[in-house]
Structure 1
Amino acid sequence: MSPRLASACPALLAAVLLAGPVAAETLPVEDPQAAYARCMEMTRDRPRDAFGAAVAWEGLGGGEAARHCAAVALFALGEYAEAAARLEILAEESRQPLPLRLEVLAQAGAGWLRAGRPGRAEAALGTAIRLAETPVEGVPSALPDLLIDRATARADQGRDSAAADDLDRALSLRPNDAEALALRASTLRRLGALAAARADAEAALARDPTHPGALLERGNIHRLAGEASAARAAWMRLLETAPDSPEAAAARENLARLDVQGTDQ
C-alpha cells in the first residue's frame, strides 16, 4: 500500500478490521480482472466488505485495481473526501492509458463535490481537462463531460461567469447536450440573463422533456418573470417525472413558498 494512503483513513480501516475479517479469498486474486470485477460489484451492495477485501488484495499485490476498488468503496460509504484524495493520488501515480486516468480524475472531482469542497473538485477537474486536450486517436474526447463537471464546481463556488464559459465550450464540442444546457440556464439565470436562460432551459427540454434540472429552471425562470401558474406547472411536472431527485426537493420548497405568498416575487 502506498505510504500516503496507508494511514489516510485510520478510523474507517479500524472499523472494517474490528467488524470481522474479510478474507482475501473472497476475491479470485489469481485472476486480476475477475478480482477487480468482483470487488467493484461488492462496492454496490457491500461497500464495507469491498473496502476490506480491496485492502487485503492490495497487500497481495493487487496494485492499482485494488486501490481503485478501495476508493470506490469509500465513496459508497460516504467517505467522499477520503475517496477523492485516494483517487487523485491514484491518477497521479497510474500507468494506465490516459482515458482511464481521466475517468479516475473525474471520479475524484465528484468526490470533492460530494464532500462540499468544490475548489478541490475544480483543481482535480482542471488537471483532467489539461490532459484531455491532447486527443487520443480512436477514443472519444472526454472534454465535454469534464467541462460540465468543472462548471458545476465553479457554480458551487459562486463563479457563474467562469461556469458559463466552461458550458459554452462544452456545448461547442457537443451541441444540444441537455445537461450542459440546463446547467447553463441556471448560471445565466443567476447572472440575470433571463431571456438566454429561458432559451437554454427550453432547448434542454426539447432534447429531454423530463430533464429534472431543466424543469426546475423553467419554473425558476417563470417565477422570476412573474408567471406563477407556469412556474407551478413546471415544478409539478418535475415532481411527477423525478419525485426522488434533488431537483424535486427544490421544487417542493419553491411550491411551498408559492402557496404561502400566493404569488411570485
Structure 2
Amino acid sequence: MLWSRLAFPLLPMLMAAAPAAAQKFETPLNPAADHTKRYDACLKQARSDPLKALPMAEKWHADGGGLAARHCVAVAMFQAGRYVQAAAQFEAIARDMGQDRPRVRAELWAQAGQAYMEVGGAEKAAEAQGRALELNGHDADLWLERALSYAAMQAWPRAISDLDQALRLRPNDVEILVLRAAAWRNAGNPTRALDDANRALKIASDHSEALLERGFAHLARGERAQAIADFDSVLRLVPPDSKAARRAEAGKRGEPPGAQPSAPAPPPKPGGNR
C-alpha cells in the first residue's frame, strides 16, 4: 500500500490543478511532454537513489518546476528516510492547491499520513488521513489506512468503525475482514472476531491469516479443540519459519496473540496505480 501511494503519478492532475504552472512549460524550449518526462525521471531517481535525486529535485523547483518538482522533492525525502519533512511537504502541497482537485489533495494527505506512520506518529497520521477522507470518502484504502493508524493507537472502536466503512466499499475483501476480526479480538469481542474470520474463510478457505484469527477467537472463547484445528491448518499452509507459523505454534500453546493487526501486503511494485 505504501509503495502504491508513492508510485501514484500526480503530474497530470497537478498540472490541471495549477494552470499557470502548466502554461509555464508550454514553450518550445520546454514543452509539456519534456516536463512529463522530467517528472517521471525525477520520481524514478527518487526511488532508486533519493540522496542524489533530492538536490536535483530542489534545483528543478528553484528553476520553476512548480508542484510537480515539489512532489518529487517530497518523495525523495520520504525515500531518504526524512519522513517528517516529507510529510510536511505533502501537506504543504495539498494546502497550496487551494480548493482544486480534491482527489489529488486527498492522495497527498494520504501520503503525508503514511510518512507519519513511518516514524510512529499514529495520531498525526490519523489526522492527515482524516483530511484525506474529507476530500475522498469513497476510497476504501483510505479508510483502511486510518484504521491501521487507530490500531497503532489501540483505539479499537475507531479502527472498527473505519474498517466498517472500508467493507461497505469492498464487502468481500478478505484482508479487510481479517483486520476487522483482529480489531474485534483486541476490543475484547471474540464472537464478532469469529464472525468476521468465518466470513473471510467462506471467501478464501485457505487464507492463513483468517485461520489464525479464527483460531485465536476460538481460543478466547474457550474452544481449544477448534482453535488447535485452525492452528494446525495454518501450519500445513505456511513455511515452518514464517511469522504465521510462529503465531500458530504460540496459539497451540495457549499463548495470546500480539495486539497489533498486520497491514495487508502491498501490491506489486510496477508503475500501476492502486
TM-score (norm 1): 0.72
Q: Does 1:43 align with 2:39?
A: no
Tell me how far apart the structure 2 counterparts of residues 236 and 75 of structure 1 sit (CA, whole Å): 39
Q: Which amino acid aligns with 1:116?
A: G
- Separation (CA, whole Å) in 1 of partners of 2:147 and 2:129: 10
Q: 2:24 aligns to what?
A: none
Query: Structure 1 counterpart of 2:85, which letter?
Result: E
Q: Secondary structure at the match of 1:61?
A: helix
Report matched runs for 1:42-191 at 5 Å. Answer: 42-94=45-97, 97-133=101-137, 141-142=138-139, 144-191=140-187
Residues 150/57 of structure 1: CA separation in 2 closer, same or farther (3 Å cut): same
Kindly report structure 1 stretches of 4+ aligned residues shifted beyond 6 Å.
none
The percentage of counterpart residues that share the same residue type is 34
The answer for the alignment partner of 1:233 in structure 2 is 233
CA distance in 1, matches of 2:206, 2:67: 39
1:254 and 2:247 are equivalent in the alignment? yes
Long gaps (5+) in structure 1: 1-27, 134-140
Q: Separation in 1 of the partners of 2:175 and 2:43?
A: 27
Taking a change above 3 Å as real, the CA distance of residues 92 and 237 of structure 1, as seen in their structure-2 partners, is farther
Deviation at 1:70, TM superposition (A): 1.5
Q: 1:121 to 1:216 in 2, by over 3 A?
A: farther
Instruction: Give the deviation of 1:189 after TM superposition.
Output: 0.7
Q: Tell me whether 80-89 or 101-110 shows the greater mean CA deviation.
A: 80-89
Q: Deviations over 1:27-73 (max 9, x none)?
A: x9762211111111122222222222211211111111111112112
Distance 1:212 1:228, change over 3 A: closer
Asked whether the 8 Å contact 2:94–2:109 carries over to 1, the reply is: yes
Contact 2:46 2:79 in 1 (8 A): yes
**Distance in 1 separating the partners of 2:77 and 2:213:** 33
Query: Which aligned pairs between 1:188-199 and structure 2 lie closer than 5 A?
Result: 188-199=184-195
> TM-score normalised to the size of structure 2?
0.70
CA drift at 1:202: 3.3
Deviation at 1:158, TM superposition (A): 1.1
Inter-partner Cα distance in structure 2 for 1:212 and 1:69: 38
Whole-angstrom distance in 2 between the partners of 1:33 and 1:234: 47
Q: Which amino acid aligns with 2:228?
A: A
Match of 2:200 in 1: 204
Aligned length: 221
Q: 1:176 to 1:42 in 2, by over 3 A?
A: same
